[in-house]
Amino acid sequence: MAMAIGTALLDEVIARHGVTKVDVNEQNTGALGFYLRQGFVQVGKSELDGDGRPHPLLHLEIPA
């Protein structure tokens, strides 16, 4: 069974760049589901995005 492109890309950035944390727009349920399936867990939430707009962000990370 072939690995999905998103999973392959995520595996690459984890292996090469040590990515263990991501932020996801709360309304982006597709992205949230993807990261949760990859083993990330929610560790926090911000009510505003990085530009100060009211777009809640969920903070996810891979457990140590």
* C-alpha distance across the termini of the chain, in Å: 28
Over range 3-17, report the average pLDDT. Answer: 92
Question: Is the pLDDT score of 3 beyond 70?
Answer: no
The answer to whether 64 and 51 have CB atoms below 8 angstroms apart is no
What is the reported pLDDT for 59? Answer: 98
What is the reported pLDDT for 2? Answer: 53
What residues have CB less than 8 Å from 55, skipping those under 6 apart? Answer: 25, 26, 27, 48, 49
Residues facing residue 24 across a β-bridge: 58
Q: What is the pLDDT of residues 13-50, one digit of tens each?
A: 999 999 999 999 999 999 999 999 999 999 999 999 88
